Amino acid sequence: MNVQLKAISDIKPYSRNPRKKKNINKVVESIKQFGWQQPIVVDRAGVIIAGHSRYEAAKILECKEIPVLIADLPPEKAKAYRIADNKTNEYSEWDFSLLHKEFTDLLDFNTDLELTGFDTKELEDFLTFDKEEDVAKIKTEKSCPNCGTKLK
């Protein structure tokens, strides 16, 4: 894997990216706090395959260069990967008990927990339960942005 620094002006968003960008400020804060830990994946022409939100954050941060990985994929595989990269994370679930322990450890280091991307309400929910059964009650709810249908 060869990660390179490229001029942000050489990188182009995919015009038909089906994933909507939400709350880019969280990505901006993440890059500010942790630096670039994931490159943007582009095709040989510099069109983004994965990392549209990081690209938008880089523009807000006025980055001149950004780390990129040039994928050696044919166009049909790049299209499929662009969708799969966004979809596959939806199949993961939180282990709330372990997440609670991680948050507790971070608090021991005096870490601002909002750096994790969770908002204040979510953090309060995770940190205020007393019993193991409360863990099962904490759920992150998703809904379709167009019709509002609740997703599981």
How high does pLDDT run on average in the chain?
85
| 50 Cβ contact list (under 8 Å, min separation 6) | 40, 41, 81, 82, 85, 86
What CA–CA distance (Å, rounded) separates 3 from 117?
25
**H or E element that contains 81:** helix 75-87
Q: Per-residue confidence at 89, pLDDT binned at 50, 70, 90? A: confident
Report, in this order, helix, strand and coil percent for the chain, each rounded to 5. 45, 15, 40
3-class DSSP state of 42: strand
Q: What is the structure's pLDDT at 129?
A: 61
pLDDT in tens, 43-53: 999 999 999 99
3-class DSSP state of 7: strand
Lowest mean pLDDT among 1-15, 32-46, 127-141: 127-141
pLDDT above 60 for 130? no
Q: What are phi and psi of 6, to 5 degrees?
A: -125, 150
The structure tokens 């990505």 sit at 27
pTM for the model stands at 0.77
| 84 Cβ contact list (under 8 Å, min separation 6) | none
Which of 55-59, 101-105, 128-132 tops mean pLDDT? 55-59
Lowest mean pLDDT among 54-63, 111-120, 138-147: 138-147
pLDDT above 70 for 81? yes
Q: What is the structure's pLDDT at 117?
A: 87
| 5 Cβ contact list (under 8 Å, min separation 6) | 65, 66, 67, 68
Q: Per-residue confidence at 91, pLDDT binned at 50, 70, 90? A: confident
Q: Per-residue confidence at 148, pLDDT binned at 50, 70, 90? A: low
Is 3-91 assigned to CATH 3.40.50.300? no
Parallel/antiparallel/unpaired status of strands 40-42 and 65-70: parallel
For the chain, give every domain's residue range.
3-91, 96-151
State mean pLDDT over 47-76: 95
